[in-house]
A and B are shown apart, each in its own frame.
Chain A
Amino acid sequence: MSFRILVLVKQVPDTRNVGENAMKADGTVNRAALPAIFNPEDMNALEMALKVKDERDDAQVIVLTMGPSRAADVIRESLYRGADKGYLITDRKFAGSDTLATSYTLAAAARKLMPFNLLIAGRQAIDGDTAQVGPQVAEKLNLPQVTYAEELQDVSGASVIVKRRLDRGVETVKVDTPVVLTVHSSAEPCRPRNAKRLLSFKHARTVTELQNEVKDYTSLYNDRPYLEIEEWTADNLKVDDEWLGLSGSPTKVKKIENVVFKQKDSVQITGADEDLDKLMKDLVDSHVIG
């Protein structure tokens, strides 16, 4: 019996580097102008899983992502870095999912991959920053959760020891597996791609991607079945359509606005003595300070 680890990863628009053209005139986000990246904390989650593989020969790391076809990029990236297998959960029916519908879908996929010992995800994704999906997947699977994990300290037995990073300190907990962990950005960064694995997995594709390839991969895939990134749609999961996508999402977006600040007519001053002398006098006289 192997020690199975599921890692939930997400492809996200890089909201940390939003340029001028990232917002459309109507105030909505121009997703096309933002590069799609591997969600940073999911990278930490992947590393946490790969570390277990370093320590246990029987460990197997399985990556799951939910998203459109191009999200297979994050599966390939995971394979390059050491993951054993990847699944892309994709269906138009999932569009518009909020965290509840997302966790319902991901939990259904995770259930199909049971039994597993650990389910690890990044604490939050940078496009929403909600940190809700991890705990909600845990609830749907009726598993305990350990959030803000920074380090897995012992994975040798039936229980694991996890160090958690909190605002003002750390906490170390012991919990029986299976358990859901969400990983904090303070955890170890992910190892780089492995050159050998990069060569092995550069042709890893989903069925949909293969159909769009000009080249015929049939014989390659017959020789190397591990190259297939499995694609699961709603039909592959035991799910009720009513709980998917928009209809399964209790939260609705009523309005999106640009961040608007009240512009002020600033008094421009220099760092010269007379300017600063006058400024401090004005502030004292108007009782702002003093």
Chain B
Amino acid sequence: MENIFVYCEITEEGHVADVSLQLLTKGRELSRQLGVELEAAALGKDMDQVAHQVRPYGVHKLHLADDDCLFPYTTLPHAAIIAGLCQQIKPQIALFGATPVGRDLAPRVASQLQCGLTADCTSLVIGDHHDKKSDTTYKNLLYQVRPAFGGNIIATIINPETRPQMATVREGVMKQEVADKPADMEINTLEVSDLTKAEHFLIDILDRHIEPKKVNITGSQIIISGGYGMGSKENFQLLYQLAEALGGEVAGSRAAVDAGFVEHDRQVGQTGVTVRPKLYIACGISGAVQHRAGMEQSAKIISINTDPGAPINNIADYAITGKVEEVIPKLIKYYKKHAK
């Protein structure tokens, strides 16, 4: 009772998704702060490796449903199992990845449990709340912080009355760290046939083409990122050359992804991933709020822009005014000169 619950999403390759491991990391922190335990659920097929993957994150209890009918993901059986489980274990907080699966599942579960859900949180903090109207003080609520209004404002949302307090979080927003001393993890095997009914299997998957995830830029210490100002997909090659020289990864802003210059997996910002590398080089990126929110925690930021007034320059350590086509080859040249 009153524990923290994390839904562990299973990737195409059968692993626990990074975003779920990040949520387990956050869930562990919250559970310690509140003096409760961390519970997780994973639903899929051939789940032999899952316990091994989540144990290091300090999970106390893993609810495991292993059945062919649970992969590929469809909404109704997963929702029935998760809602049923939540009714049984009554967590105070339930966290889901803000992935296509999590954003399909969490609202359905929240509606069934008639509780509040906050999408795409960028920060989760425990705090108190005093309601003036009813003169009631709520202790240890989950502050769910999220960008709203197209990312132009930041809202803190609370659910004073309903439980669990549900939230989805995008990949890369929270840190992913194993526990110093993982708990002894108990495994509870869920009986899928007891929790699901025939009417939950109304969706017939005829065909699927899902590419495996090719890149994970969140792990890179050096990120060379391009925006709409790069002008073309061909010009992005310059970024790959600089990334190769410096040993980094290439990323892009939403505008660059929408323009087809670079793939979605490399998108940095509120609708992409959040990164915090040692060095972030922003090339031809003006720095919309939504982009800056995804990279401002980088240790060093260099911007290359023809416009000295670009908003990105306000958070840059070095603002280079110039054309990317001219500046990047020089950066490569002088890096090679000084590299030891």
Residues of A within 8 A of B (CB): 13, 15-16, 18, 22-23, 27-29, 98-100, 103, 126-136, 138-140, 144-148, 161, 166-176, 179, 249-259, 261-264, 266-271, 273, 275-277, 279-281, 283-285, 288-290
Contacts and interface: CB of A to CB of B under 8 A. Distances in A.
A132 B119 contact: yes
Nearest to A275: B320
Contacts of B129: 254
Contacts of A270: 320-322
A155 B68 CA distance: 29
Nearest to A146: B203
Interface stretch (B1-9, B39-47, B49-57, B332-340): B332-340
A281 B334 contact: yes
Contacts of A29: 149, 152-153
Given A171-B72, A277-B334, A253 B150 contact: no
B118 A268 contact: no
A27 B104 CA distance: 31
B150 A127 contact: yes
Contacts of A281: 334, 338
B313 A251 contact: no
Contacts of B239: none
Given A127-B150, A288-B279, A267 B108 contact: no
Contact of A271 (B72, B159, B246, B323): B323
Interface in B283-323: 289, 292-293, 296, 299-302, 304, 308, 313-323
Size class of B's contact patch? 35 or more
A174 B159 CA distance: 37
Given A136-B110, A169-B211, A279-B320, 13 more contacts: A15-B150, A145-B108, A148-B100, A170-B210, A171-B209, A179-B202, A253-B155, A256-B148, A257-B155, A259-B152, A279-B331, A284-B340, A288-B300
A271 B330 contact: yes
Nearest to B303: A266
Contacts of B158: 251-252, 254
A283 B278 CA distance: 11
A254 B156 contact: yes
B314 A289 contact: no
B152 A266 contact: no
Q: Which of A13, A161, A284 has its CB near the most chain B CB atoms (within 10 A)? A: A284
Nearest to B246: A289
A283 B209 contact: no
Contact of B206 (A146, A172, A252): A172
Contact of B204 (A128, A136, A174): A174
Nearest to A14: B150
Nearest to B324: A271
Contacts of B211: 168-169
Contacts of B72: 171
Given A29-B149, A100-B116, A129-B119, A173 B326 contact: no
22 contacts: A18-B150, A129-B119, A132-B103, A139-B111, A145-B104, A166-B210, A168-B264, A168-B265, A171-B207, A250-B114, A253-B156, A253-B157, A256-B153, A261-B314, A262-B315, A264-B314, A267-B318, A268-B319, A280-B337, A284-B340, A285-B338, A289-B247
B91 interface: no
Interface majority SS on B: helix, strand, loop or mixed? mixed
Q: Which of A131, A172, A270 has its CB near the most chain B CB atoms (within 10 A)? A: A131
A279 B119 contact: no
A170 B110 CA distance: 26
Nearest to A29: B149
Contact of A147 (B12, B100, B296): B100
B120 interface: yes
A271 B327 contact: yes
A284 B293 contact: no
Q: Which of A277, A280, A285 has its CB near the most chain B CB atoms (within 10 A)? A: A280
A249 B159 CA distance: 9
Nearest to B118: A251
B116 to A, nearest CB: 3
Contact of B157 (A136, A251, A289): A251
Contacts of B156: 253-257
Contacts of A98: 116
A201 to B, nearest CB: 30
A279 B318 contact: yes
A227 to B, nearest CB: 35
A100 B112 CA distance: 10
Contacts of A140: 111
A135 B334 contact: no
Nearest to B247: A289
Contacts of A262: 296, 315
A250 B210 contact: no
Contact of B317 (A129, A131, A266): A266
A276 B323 contact: no
B210 A168 contact: yes
B112 A139 contact: yes
B74 to A, nearest CB: 8
A32 to B, nearest CB: 14
B314 A266 contact: yes
B313 A132 contact: no
A112 to B, nearest CB: 19
Interface string B64-77: 00000000100110
